[in-house]
Amino acid sequence: MTTSSNCMLCKIAGILVIIGALNWGMIGILQMNIVAKFLGDMTMASRIVYSLVGVAGLLKLVTCFKDCPGCCKK
């Protein structure tokens, strides 16, 4: 597992994963979907946010086992 997350890709992915985790926490605890509340229920904007959060989650999953390509360039 890599310990350095200095590249911009890792920072953005981390922020998106946090947004996704907080949104799911709000859904589970308060039954309130923050993304849908601000961007609409399954609008193009909310689908983009959900897609970006999903891609960020996959990137973070991969970086648990392999170094990030952006971090390796340094």
3-state secondary structure the chain: CCCCCCCHHHHHHHHHHHHHHHHHHHHHHHCCCHHHHHHCCCCHHHHHHHHHHHHHHHHHHHCCCCCCHHHHCC
Residues 2-14: tens digit of each pLDDT: 455 578 988 999 9
- Ranges of residues in the chain with a pLDDT under 70 are 1-5, 74
Q: Is 56 exposed, middle or buried (0-12, 13-18, 19+ CB in 10 A)?
A: buried
Considering the entire predicted model, what is its pTM? 0.80
How far is residue 67's CA from residue 63's CA, in Å, rounded to a whole number? 5
Going from N- to C-terminal start, the domains of the chain cover 17-64
